[in-house]
Chain A
Amino acid sequence: MWIDLAITMVKIIFIVTITVGFFAPVLTWVERKQSAIMQDRIGANRADILGFTALGLFHILSDAIKMFTKEDFIPQGANRALHTMAPIIALTPAILTFAVIPFGGQYTLWGKDVNLVISDLDVGLLFVFAIASLATYGYVVAGWSSNNNWSLLGAMRTASQMISYEVTMGLTIIGVLMVYSSMQLTQIGAAQENFWRWGIFLQPLGFFMFFAASIAENKRIPFDAPEAESELVAGYFTEYSGLKFGMFFMAEFIEMVTIGAIVTILFFGAWHIPFLTTATLLSMFDFLGDSGANLVVMLIHIGVFFGKVTISIFVQMVIRWTLPRFRYDQIMKLGWKILLPLSLANVVVTGIVILALE
């Protein structure tokens, strides 16, 4: 029992460290550097320690120091309790979703079965969506409690955008559920050991719609109408400063990792390497003994999984720095008039194909 508890603790510490401690801060640097390269600028290179800039990596440090030391400002007439609570409501779901995301398969290490997921819920996929939809309250409450019209407009846009794109997202997922006949994320991952059974081949349309909808849910360009700097100052977080602003900022980057992880599990074979089954991989490291081979394969799979997540995040960033912002009515039109009918058609076609193949 103590060993199980210890294994779970290690998994929790690992996933929190890698998302909150590694991905989120490093992504702020990557985004600056990548935008600089794409726009032909030199980019983040000012923060230095004794003249040494480390390619601008020290900006992460100075960001953190800035956020911790800035004044925490609450505007006059704002609802103090809700204004303080809003960033917490926004950030918590982003971290919580990692409770059900598997970052590897199942391995036997010295007689102990290790399942690389913190909680293997049989409704894992639904859990992710239920929890992720709670984050909306953080943004809406933030906009409402700030007592600022820009914030309120941002909050209203957030709410309508979330409601519109959640419908598409839910319907695309139904296609994935029908193909793999499971809602358990570990099972969906395990079902994609064969390269040609990857979600991208079975649900190609589903992938594009899911990706578009999830970027819209994360409110990044081209779907960043809720915070549109040129129209609404900064949208729902106009009145936030210091670490509370930092929490909104972190939530966005952690959500990018979540989207990357979900896309990887549903459409890109989770932790599997193309054309290399776990059994072949195990036999390659046979000389290390049973547990040794398992350990090596486990580490390889974790590396492969986070490699795929990184690629997915990179694609999200390229999209962000390539496209201009959509107008509000264009976002609504895309959501309700294009993506929704397409996702409904996707469900019907998937059903017909599954019936025909049986």
Chain B
Amino acid sequence: MELLIFYPLALVSVGLALGVVLNKNPIGSAVCLIGMMLGLAAVFVLLQAHFLAILQILIYAGAIMVLFMFVIMLLNLRDDDKIWKVRERNIWLSSLTGAMMVGVLYKIIDIIAGAEFNAPAKVPDEFGTVEMVGTALFTDFVLPFEVASILLLAAMVGSVVLAKSKVD
């Protein structure tokens, strides 16, 4: 039953992910990206992690909205080159990034291939609930959590300072 839901979901998610890369139109890419995030959220629901699924939607929905605005304000102002062109000098950079990603993927596939599949891990009842995520964040991972918070605050202050010097 679960696989019956998972395979179409996975197929759609991968299809939309390809859509993000192959779409000629930046807005189309962004729409595909939202769709893919929703697909991933649905996979989280299948894994009983409702809280993570909702966070996935909440955080990425907001983040991609900003991306949207960037595209509309920065890319769409010139009507003549609506289609994204790959610039010549970027091809080498893209190839390099791609090669590095293949390395990462190889490592992941290697780990998965080496794992034993006959005994699936038992999911505890409380897994993925609000309480569990909260407890984990504020006990085991409190240092990374705080560091990330300070980083975000610094970014926020930084953007205000950058914008202010231009306004004044």
CA distance A145 to B54 in the complex (A): 28
- Are the C-beta atoms of B58 and A130 separated by less than 8 Å? yes
Q: Closest B residue to A167 by CB, please name it.
A: B62
Q: Is B69 an interface residue (CB 8 A)?
A: yes
CA distance in complex: A57, B11 (Å)? 47
Residues B130 and A141 in contact, CB atoms below 8 Å apart? no
Note all chain B residues with C-beta closer than 8 A to A79: 25, 27-28
A212: chain B residues within 8 A (beta carbon):
none
Q: How far is the CB of B133 from chain A (nearest CB, A)?
A: 10
Contact between B129 and A122 (Cβ–Cβ < 8 Å)? yes
- How many A-B contacts at CB < 8 Å in the complex? 65
Q: Contacts A123-B54, A129-B58, A130-B54 given: A152-B72 contact, CB under 8 Å?
A: yes
**A98 contacts partner chain B, Cβ-Cβ < 8 Å:** no
Interface residues on B, range: 20 to 34
Cβ-defined contact, B72 with A82, below 8 A? no
Complex Cα gap A134–B61 (Å): 6
For residue A225, CB closer than 8 A to chain B, the reply is: no
Which residue of chain A has its CB nearest to the CB of B71? A144
A134 to B59, CA, bound (A): 11
| A26 within 8 A of partner (CB) | no
**How far does the alpha carbon of A79 sit from the alpha carbon of B72 in the complex, in Å?**
14
Q: Is A291 an interface residue (CB 8 A)?
A: no
Main secondary structure of the interface of B (DSSP, over half): helix
Task: Write out the residue numbers on chain B whose beta carbons fall within 8 Å of the beta carbon of A156.
Answer: 69, 72-73
Is there contact, CB below 8 Å, between B57 and A134?
yes
A159 at the interface (CB under 8 A from B): yes
**Interface membership of chain A positions 113-153, coded 1 if the CB is closer than 8 angstroms to chain B and 0 otherwise:** 00000000111001101110110110011001100000010
Query: What is the CB-to-nearest-CB distance from B106 to chain A, in angstroms, rounded to a whole number?
Result: 35
Is B130 within 8 A of A183, CB to CB? yes
Given A141-B31, A166-B62: A131 and B68 interface contact (C-beta under 8 Å): no
The 27 listed contacts between A and B (C-beta, < 8 Å) are A79-B27, A82-B31, A85-B31, A121-B50, A122-B129, A123-B51, A123-B130, A126-B58, A130-B54, A130-B58, A130-B61, A131-B57, A133-B57, A133-B58, A133-B61, A134-B34, A134-B57, A134-B61, A136-B65, A137-B61, A137-B65, A140-B68, A144-B27, A144-B72, A145-B27, A156-B69, A156-B73
Residues of A within 8 A of B (CB): 79, 81-82, 85, 121-123, 126-127, 129-131, 133-134, 136-137, 140-141, 144-145, 152, 155-156, 159, 162-163, 166, 183
